[in-house]
């Protein structure tokens, strides 16, 4: 059964939002799958205006 965890970050400026999204996108490209000893997570991020949304899906 998979579980999805979300966090949504609000920025006061579009520049900050896009800057963070760019950084997160680079990280996600390099490590799409993150493992701890018991679970694996798939990371996804979406930028929508001043919001950056992160989703981690785990197959626990």
How far apart are alpha carbons 28 and 34 in whole angstroms? 9
Provide the domain limits for residue 13: 3-58
pLDDT per residue as tens digits for the range 6-41: 666 666 676 776 777 777 767 666 555 555 555 555
Band of residue 49 on the pLDDT scale cut at 50, 70, 90: low
What pTM value is reported for the model?
0.33
Cα 58–chain centre separation: 13
In a 13 Å sphere around the CA of 53, the CA atoms on its Cβ side amount to: 8
Check if the beta carbon of residue 19 is closer than 8 Å to that of residue 49: no
| Structural domains of the chain, count | 1
Which secondary structure element, helix H or strand E, spans residue 27, and what is its range? helix 14-30
């Amino acid at each position: 059964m998979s579980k999805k965890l979300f966090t949504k970050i609000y920025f006061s400026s579009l520049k900050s939002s896009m800057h963070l999204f760019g950084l997160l996108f680079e990280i996600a490209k390099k490590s799409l799958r993150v493992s701890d000893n018991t679970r694996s997570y798939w990371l996804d991020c979406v930028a929508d205006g001043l919001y950056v949304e992160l989703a981690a899906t785990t197959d626990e």
